[in-house]
Structure 1
Amino acid sequence: MEFRSAISKGDGVLMVVALVGCIHALFLSPMNCYGSHGEAISTTDRMYLESLSLQGTLTFDNTTASATDWGQLRSQLPPSGVMHPTSVDDIATVVAAVARSESELTVAARGLGSSIWGQSQAHNGIVIEMTSLKGIKVAPLGDAASNGVPFVEAMGGEMWVDVLTTSLEYGLAPRSWTDYLYLTVGGTLSNAGVSGQSFRHGPEVSNVLQLEVVTGTGEVVVCSATKSSELFFAVLGGLGQFGIIAKARIVLEVAPQRVRWIRAIYTDFATFKADQELLIGAAQPFDYVEGFVVLNNENAINGWGSVPFVRSDINAAMIPGHAGAIMYCLEVTKAYSAAALPTLDQVVESMLAPLSFHRGLLFEKDTTYFKFLDRVHEVEMELRAHGLWEIPHPWLNIFVPASSIDRFNTLVFKPIATQEFSGPILVYPVNKSKWDKRLSVAVPEGPEEIFYIVAFLRNKLPDTIGGPSLTEMLDYNESVLRICESLHCKQYLPHYEDRNKWTHHFGSKWDLFVQNKQLFDPCAILSPGLNIFTRGRHSLSSTNFLSNFANFCGGSPK
């Protein structure tokens, strides 16, 4: 699958086969890639797919459950079929069959349906329920397979919480995480996977040694940074456009036993920002650095009462009189072992000494490493008990350049004080150098080393509770995105309806993104819910493709 590598090596046979195959698939034999637009699965296609030899199950009835996602923002019609694979071959067989079909069938891999805008949906297509694909194996240091680097190998449908639990049995754990562990490995690696460890270790996609991928042609490819590297870097952060992640090999480190979990309040953004950036550049940094916006309001969901670990540890008298309507909370952790406990207080105090938070608004808690990483799950259980989990989530996640974050604070954060805002607002910096430039993920362009992760994690509360309508929340998100246009931000977990906006989103990476689509999913069958490419109405003209062909082979197409 390393077409460009083969070309550079002068492998004329592979070059001709690969590129002529792409031209044939895209332009010369359209009925192999797509038929008339918009039709549901035909009787012929259904009979063909039902005839496939699979170890798992493929059903065309009662598919409604696979048409929902976490966001609940888009009303989806059920997919034509749902597959529950029990092997990678199952996925490859179905994908290859769909690619060969003469209809407009598409394929979407679905983990736990944690997408916001129906990205894991495939109306008139096949949804592959990845959670039936199980398997976790740890290769600890000293294992012959580890080659000096311990790793865990997990199937794409496994949840990160199970990867953590299994790794901890060996005293090991992945280095980089998301804030919520009940997500699938394949799902987060198709985006990025970010949290408070990203400033040190990069996102989850920067901590992968190897992938097993099913491409859009149904080919199973094992790839890494040195083997089929174009596919490897395309798939990581590739939004599911180039292949389905069937298996991932992830770097492990020695797992901490416990963590000191610390939160501290700031009343002005400039000091908060300076301290966060100081921490992510420290020679001996904390293990986790995040932050969030705090309303100077005792009763607000995200007011100062949410900062301490025990609500009674704070009261209105503790809030400085000069504090404005918006404050900010720094959140950090320091990992430690039982042997380090006698000196822990002194070590933490020295690490906090250079910071300028309000000393009377410092809150600390010691807990196990697992409980810290699994912290959101406790919130989930509480919300589920009150019927407040399965509700619409009009979330908005943005990467903001460090040079724009002050203006973002003025234009976006400060006005929040006048609104009803149900849900946390995260803001914390990461180091761009920890993000491999070859990844598909689009981060702010330019020479700046630091950019900020900003997340508006709003929830549409039931009408009986009150609050703004879903339409008002979505309009708010659009207003923030309009502000972002002048601040050179990038969306994380992006969603656009307009092709030009997708082009703008990927910026200098767009041409490579399109080339990779041509190489690895030439019929444009994968992840149709994002509306980047559409089967049957491919966004590229044959002229553009032939121009790219000329670039590949170093001459003009004949």
Structure 2
Amino acid sequence: MTSPTFKLLMALLLTGINSRKSDSDDTPGNTSFHRLSIDGQFTSHDVEQAATDFGNQYHLLPSTVLHPASVADIAATVTYVFQLGLSSRVTIAARGHGHSLQGQAQAPGGIVVLMESLGKWKTMQTHHGPDPYVDAPGGELWINVLKETLRYGLAPKSWTDYLHLTIGGTLSNAGISGQAFKQGPQISNVHQLEVITGKGEVVNCSSTQNEELFHSVLGGLGQFGIITQARIALETAPKMVKWIRVLYTNFTSFTEDQEMLISSEKTFDYIEGFVIINRTGILNNWRSSFNPKNPVQASHFKSVGKTLFCLEMTKNFDPENHEKMMHEVEGLLSQLRYVPSTLFQSEVSYLEFLDRVHVSEAKLRLKGLWEIPHPWLNLLVPRTGIHAFANEIFGKILTDGSNGPILLYPLNKSKWDNRTSVVIPDEGVFYLVAFLWSAPLSSGQDSLEKTLTQNERILEFCKKANIQIKQYLPYYRTEEDWKSHFGPRWEEFKQKKQEYDPLAILAPGQRIFQKEVASS
């Protein structure tokens, strides 16, 4: 059987293209890839879409877009670009559901691979047994993984808050949500990967087979390979969720209660926190469909001008065990120091809870508030610096109600595999602090610039106060900043890049490495 790589190289010869391409061959609009023989197709009509992402701040046009019909299509394309060597500027970016924030899945003048196309040809397979798992394409959405595995009464152990993201996308970062304190991030719940390296090699890897590549790719920001399949650990899925929100006015009580809960053996199944700055009418907007335990007391709670801290928790249960679940929840709540009148609760299906953000997305889309700039800032803050951080950020830098939620909750370092590429604070407990801003276009460019300036002030404070933060979904403009981010792991990271993607073909939008081109 003729290999896709051979077909690509033959097409290269037949179309009269040689490896000594001029710079003009790499500009948008070049159509040489369209004539290559693959099972899928290259297109140019959707380059604008491929240059747009959720962050909506960068718009870098690729030369062409690959809709792969097989893993071989992607491997052959990478091999082709690799064999062009240093004579070509072409790079390749794997694009999932387009949820990058700063152009990380864009490839200016290069090739964007639409990973979701792979799901049409490569299906999921759920495996039962004492250690169940699902094999799923890298371009599959987590929501589809959930729906597929729920058919068998199973589900992945760790999630992100938003499920309309691809497997390869979240595993290239970490994948965290309120379950991570107990289950670890998503990258701690993967058994095996199929990866295409920057040389075009298709490699199966795990903690016992090609283990260096396996751990490098997990949290590797797409620098070492394109994830085309993942074997994800599963557990028995609950049917229902007890969903609880309470409010605090004291930050110390808020954080101490969170830390107590994530260190306890018997605790909730999901724990997250939110910061609510200077909002009025908060109990009407914030509680959504939740019911107050005491409606009269709740109606008397005044929120004007206060910075409030919301603790959100869930307890999984099956309907036949409802009484037992309620007893456990009441015991846990009795240990907490929230404002008693602000206990709000609800009971929903497991699927409804996990897909909760999608409901908000639908509402925002109707209002035209989804496809706008999202200048998010996600930080991992060491526990020892969280109070100094909060005093400055929530007390001085952020004084008005913000356009978007602010998440703040602790994670256990012991649940993270230190062999992966993710860089986290060197403390046993650290906090995710996520500023999930929106910059409505109706507010003009000033809204975006104001938020970006605000982000810079937050980062500058952390630097001056020597709070050893790490960015989650990191974005830096200079090599020096990347060196600082990786710290003592920078040289190791560079060496792995040289081994698995020596020409720096993959994930150019991360702006960590730049492809070198030989002079004519």
The alignment's TM-score, normalised by the length of structure 1, stands at 0.84
Partner of 2:258: 276
Task: Write the deviation string for residues 30-85 of structure 1: whole angstroms up to 9, x where unpaired.
Answer: xx99978x655279x854x4453311001245521111000011232x20111000
Instruction: Give, in angstroms, the shift of residue 91 of structure 1.
Output: 0.3
Does the CA-based 8 Å contact 2:298-2:342 persist in structure 1?
A: no
After superposing the two structures, state which structure 1 stretch, 304-313 or 233-242, moved more. 304-313
Does the CA-based 8 Å contact 2:278-2:401 persist in structure 1?
A: no
Partner of 1:477: 455
Secondary structure of 2:124's counterpart equals: strand
| Residues 1:52 and 1:311: Cα distance change in structure 2 (over 3 Å) | same
Instruction: Give, in angstroms, the shift of residue 311 of structure 1.
Output: 7.6
Partner of 1:462: 441
Q: Say whether 1:74 aligns with 2:58.
A: yes
Q: Say whether 1:185 aligns with 2:174.
A: no
Alignment of 1:416-455 (within 5 A): 418-445=399-426, 448-455=427-434
Q: What root-mean-square deviation, in Å, do the aligned CA atoms of Structure 1 and Structure 2 show?
A: 2.4
Does the CA-based 8 Å contact 1:298-1:305 persist in structure 2?
A: no
Instruction: Give, in angstroms, the shift of residue 342 of structure 1.
Output: 2.5
Q: Say whether 1:118 aligns with 2:98.
A: no
**Structure 2: distance between partners of 1:85 and 1:386:** 34
Alignment of 1:271-350 (within 5 A): 271-299=253-281, 303-310=282-289, 318-319=300-301, 325-350=306-331
Q: Say whether 1:525 aligns with 2:478.
A: no
Instruction: Give, in angstroms, the shift of residue 296 of structure 1.
Output: 4.3
Secondary structure of 2:503's counterpart equals: coil
Task: Write the deviation string for residues 74-129 of structure 1: whole angstroms up to 9, x where unpaired.
Answer: 232x2011100011000000001011112110000001110000000001100001
After superposing the two structures, state which structure 1 stretch, 171-180 or 502-511, moved more. 502-511
Secondary structure of 1:218's counterpart equals: coil
Does the CA-based 8 Å contact 1:34-1:535 persist in structure 2?
A: no
Partner of 1:106: 91
Count of equivalent residues: 492
**Structure 2: distance between partners of 1:225 and 1:139:** 21
Secondary structure of 1:256's counterpart equals: coil
**Structure 1: distance between partners of 2:261 and 2:515:** 47
Partner of 2:239: 257
Does the CA-based 8 Å contact 2:198-2:501 persist in structure 1?
A: yes
Equivalent position to 1:161, from 140, 143, 146? 143
The alignment's TM-score, normalised by the length of structure 2, stands at 0.90
State percent identity of aligned pairs: 47
**Structure 2: distance between partners of 1:222 and 1:155:** 13
| Residues 1:384 and 1:433: Cα distance change in structure 2 (over 3 Å) | same
Secondary structure of 2:243's counterpart equals: strand
Partner of 2:338: 357
**Structure 1: distance between partners of 2:394 and 2:283:** 15
| Residues 1:33 and 1:451: Cα distance change in structure 2 (over 3 Å) | farther
Does the CA-based 8 Å contact 1:392-1:460 persist in structure 2?
A: yes
Equivalent position to 1:535, from 476, 499, 515? 515
**Structure 1: distance between partners of 2:138 and 2:46:** 24
Instruction: Give, in angstroms, the shift of residue 362 of structure 1.
Output: 0.5
Instruction: Give, in angstroms, the shift of residue 420 of structure 1.
Output: 4.2
Q: Say whether 1:56 aligns with 2:40.
A: yes
The letter of the residue matching 1:95 is V
Does the CA-based 8 Å contact 2:217-2:224 persist in structure 1?
A: yes
Q: Say whether 1:139 aligns with 2:126.
A: yes
Partner of 1:551: none
Instruction: Give, in angstroms, the shift of residue 241 of structure 1.
Output: 0.5
| Residues 1:33 and 1:239: Cα distance change in structure 2 (over 3 Å) | farther
**Structure 1: distance between partners of 2:480 and 2:44:** 35
The letter of the residue matching 2:506 is L
The letter of the residue matching 1:352 is L
The letter of the residue matching 2:380 is F
**Structure 2: distance between partners of 1:487 and 1:528:** 29
| Residues 1:381 and 1:363: Cα distance change in structure 2 (over 3 Å) | same
Alignment of 1:370-389 (within 5 A): 370-389=351-370
Task: Write the deviation string for residues 241-277 of structure 1: whole angstroms up to 9, x where unpaired.
Answer: 0000000000000001101000000001000000000
| Residues 1:34 and 1:128: Cα distance change in structure 2 (over 3 Å) | farther
Secondary structure of 1:65's counterpart equals: helix
Where does structure 1 lack aligned partners over 5 or more consecutive residues?
1-31, 143-147, 539-558
Secondary structure of 1:517's counterpart equals: helix
Task: Write the deviation string for residues 345-388 of structure 1: whole angstroms up to 9, x where unpaired.
Answer: 22210111111111111100000000000000000111111111
| Residues 1:304 and 1:458: Cα distance change in structure 2 (over 3 Å) | farther
Partner of 1:232: 214
Does the CA-based 8 Å contact 1:290-1:426 persist in structure 2?
A: yes
The letter of the residue matching 2:430 is F
The letter of the residue matching 1:90 is D
Does the CA-based 8 Å contact 2:102-2:475 persist in structure 1?
A: yes
Secondary structure of 1:133's counterpart equals: helix
| Residues 1:295 and 1:312: Cα distance change in structure 2 (over 3 Å) | farther
**Structure 2: distance between partners of 1:35 and 1:250:** 42
**Structure 1: distance between partners of 2:330 and 2:291:** 23
**Structure 1: distance between partners of 2:162 and 2:19:** 38
Partner of 2:186: 204
Task: Write the deviation string for residues 138-162 of structure 1: whole angstroms up to 9, x where unpaired.
Answer: 43333xxxxx310011101110000
Does the CA-based 8 Å contact 1:40-1:80 persist in structure 2?
A: no
| Residues 1:272 and 1:218: Cα distance change in structure 2 (over 3 Å) | same
Secondary structure of 1:469's counterpart equals: helix
Q: Say whether 1:502 aligns with 2:485.
A: no
| Runs of 4 or more consecutive aligned structure 1 residues displaced over 6 Å after TM superposition | 32-36
The letter of the residue matching 2:113 is I
